[in-house]
Amino acid sequence: MLSVAQEICPKAKAIIAIGNCASFGGIPAAIPNPTGAKNVIAALKDLTLPPVINVPGCPPNPVSFVGVIANYLLKGTLPETDQYLRPLFAYGSTVHSTCPFILDTDPTTGRCLKPKGCKGPNTVNNCTTVKYNNATNFPMNAGHVCIGCSDPTFWDMNTPFWGFLAADTQLPPTPLEIFEKDVQPIAVKPSVRKMAPSLIQKRNEEVFDVLGRRVSSAAQRVPGRHKTPGMYIDKTQSRMRKILGL
């Protein structure tokens, strides 16, 4: 598998690491990591790779994976990510902050599982909003604590699952520690186009009909082919009156 990855990955346009194992090492990398398992970036750290994006989770939400693909197909780029290369559209807020039970804290009847050791407050994912299997369910709704499966080293960091972390609990590794190299999160520039002044002037000379459609512009006007703008507007208005029954 490693030799296939070493051959194929440098030739790809992008790499999507699906699941906690590919993103962060996952369960085979849990202490004591008997096989020396690594995440994709660390395993291939000596190669020059195209952009990598992580879609972690155990399992990852397929909706998040499809979202990454759709973003790439529509915009030609990967979406904006956090420092662990997780797309912000899916991993931009904590599980706790979006959980429907966040205020349901009555000691007897409350469904908030934070007092029981839910790892929602320190985990980012979209389980509570997108949910699983055609939005059917998610763990806290089924009465089980979040185990934080989209975070690096969660198998060690978040146990006991139904308990609280000891004072000397291992904290999540830094990106440099987990990926064994420097990685830059993917930043997306805002999509405001700046027009050249000459084009702005041409745009100001354009004529629009009552529906806001551009009728003609001074730049596009060809002698003999277009009537004066006024007539276009008149024709449009009479057409509109007919459509509207006026």
Binder among 93, 98, 129, 141 for another protein (CB under 8 A)? 141
- What is the C-alpha end-to-end distance of the chain, expressed in Å? 72
Applying CB under 8 A, the span of 79-87, 88-96, 141-149, 190-198 interacting with another protein comes to: 141-149
As to burial, measured by CB atoms within 10 angstroms (0-12 exposed, 13-18 middle, 19+ buried), residue 98 is middle
Which 65-124 positions form the footprint of another protein (CB under 8 A)?
111
Give how many residues touch another protein by CB under 8 A.
30
Query: Contact with another protein (CB under 8 A): which of 133, 191, 198, 204?
Result: 133
Place of tokens 């939400």: 61
Considering only 6, 12, 83, 162, the residue that binds another protein (CB under 8 A) is 162
**Which of 136, 191, 198, 204 forms a contact with another protein (CB under 8 A)?**
136
Q: Which stretch binds another protein (CB under 8 A): 27-35, 71-79, 87-95, 231-239?
A: 27-35
In angstroms, give the least distance from the CB of 35 to another protein. 6
Q: Helix/strand/coil (H, E, C) string of 179-236?
A: HCCCCCCCCCCCCCCCCCHHHHHHHHCCEECCCCCEEECCCCCCCCCCCCHHHHHHHH
Least distance in Å: CB of 111 to another protein? 7
Contacts to another protein from residues 39-58, by CB under 8 A: 58
Candidates 30, 49, 130, 165: give the one binding another protein (CB under 8 A).
30
Is residue 31 near another protein by the rule CB under 8 A? yes
Provide the binding-site residues for another protein, judged by CB under 8 A.
26-28, 30-35, 37, 58-59, 111, 132-134, 136-139, 141-144, 147, 155, 159-162
